[in-house]
Every structure is written in C-alpha cells, then in structure tokens.
Amino acid sequence: ELKVEQNPLFLSMQEEKNYTIYCNYSTTSDRLYWYRQDPGKSLESLFVLLSNGAVKQEGRLMASLDTKARLSTLHITAAVHDLSATYFCAVDTATSGTYKYIFGTGTRLKVLA
Amino acid sequence: DTGVSQNPRHKITKRGQNVTFRCDPISEHNRLYWYRQTLGQGPEFLTYFQNEAQLEKSRLLSDRFSAERPKGSFSTLEIQRTEQGDSAMYLCASSSFNEKLFFGSGTQLSVL
C-alpha cells in the first residue's frame, strides 16, 4: 500500500532563511502534488509535478521531483511570515490502475519575524 | 463561484444520530473524492467516484459510512449511528482526468 512521509513534521524558521521540506513515497508514481493549508481552511494547490526531474517555482517556493528516488522536495527561499502554513504532498495511484490521492502527514511551517 | 461547494460548513450532533453531508463538485469534473482530516493529520482517503460509479472505498471505512453520487453530479456522504471518533473535518474534492484535486471548504463534524 502506498505510503507518503514528510519531514520534518514541524519547522520553525527565521525570516529570510532557506529551508527544504522532504516528501518520500513508497511505490512507483510519476505524479506528485503539493498543497498548502492555512489554519481552519481547506487545501490549496501549489504545484503539480508530472514527470521525473520536474521542477516548478512560484515566488519563494520551488518544488522538484525525483521519481527514481521516490522523493520530492519543497524548497523555501528567504522565508517570509506569509508562508506560515501546513504543507502537504500527495501522490496519486494511477500507475496501479486506480486514481486516488494519498497525502503525507504534513509539515507545519512557522516563520518567525 | 464555480468551485467545489460543501454543505453544511459545521455540524454538531449527538452520538448515535445519523448525519448527511453534501458536495457539489466543479461541474465539468468527472471524479469526486471524500477525505477525512483530523487535527494535525493529513487528509485520509475515504472513497472516490468516477461519474456515478463508486470505484474505491477505503478498507478502514466502517460500514456506517456510505456515499452516493447519483447521476454523476453532486455527492452525499452519510454517517449512521455517529460515534465520537467520527468527529473530524470531512473534505470533498473533484478533478478532471489525471489532474490535481480541487477541494471544498469542508464540513466540520462534532459528535457530542
């Protein structure tokens, strides 16, 4: 069964610092998704990574995918307070013939002023 | 607004009662998903539909839970004989073929 793990689970960082969140998954998949969730809110899509080596960037966030290593990273550059949220990665099961999305445990990010 | 709509936003019920939630997906999306999320956890897959067909249901899901999607449009999720452990945020999402999920705002269930 597909398992998705993220680390760290909690991340407290200073503004203007850089950091990386890691997402590992257990079975073959070519597609990985990153979402953001603010407290009490629903999930908002950030990135869709559809192939090995895919890299997407939006503002201070950059996501990449290595399907051979079954690893995705979300890199934060020069963090600002507005990035404080919980970040989830998700993997779909299309390669196994079904189309459900399995989410990681989430990384709760707090950017300190 | 053509996003995913869920009703009600909040539901408080007593243990043993039945509850039903509704989800209206983005109209052109053929897939609809239900997830459950508890505090500090990621969304947990419950079930999904492709058009009106329910294609998969989580093995962890109790028989007290049932979902329908008549005519491939809106969906309902019913929980019978609610228990305190059912308290959670119930999220609905929809997607087109092999694309990202679009989530609704969720229904927060509290079982007293």
Q: What is the pLDDT of residues A33-65, one digit of tens each?
A: 999 999 988 899 999 998 888 999 999 999 999
Q: Does residue A104 belong to the interface with chain B, where contact is any CB pair within 8 Å?
A: yes
Q: Can the peptide bond before residue B8 be classed as cis, meaning omega within 30 degrees of 0? A: yes
- CB burial string B34-72: b at 16+ within 10 A, e below: bbbbeeeebbbbbbbbbeeeeebebeebeeebbbebeee
pLDDT of residue B60: 78
Which residues in chain B (8-37) have CB-CB distances under 8 A to chain A? 31, 33, 35
- pLDDT band at A108, cuts 50/70/90? very high
Whose tokens are 């609809």? That residue is: B32
Q: Does residue B98 belong to the interface with chain A, where contact is any CB pair within 8 Å?
A: yes
Nearest CA in chain B to A95: B98
For B52-105, write each residue's pLDDT tens digit. Answer: 999 999 987 889 999 999 988 999 999 999 999 999 999 999 998 778 999 999
Across the interface, of B40, B42, B56, the residue whose CB is closest to A103 is B42
Alpha-carbon distance of B34 to B98, in angstroms, equals 17
Burial class (CB in 10 A: 0-12, 13-18, 19+), B24: middle
Cα end-to-end distance, chain B, whole Å: 33
Cross-strand pairs, A64:
A55, A73
Percent of chain B with pLDDT over 90: 86
Percent of chain A with pLDDT over 70: 100
Tokens of A99: 């189309």
pLDDT of residue B1: 53
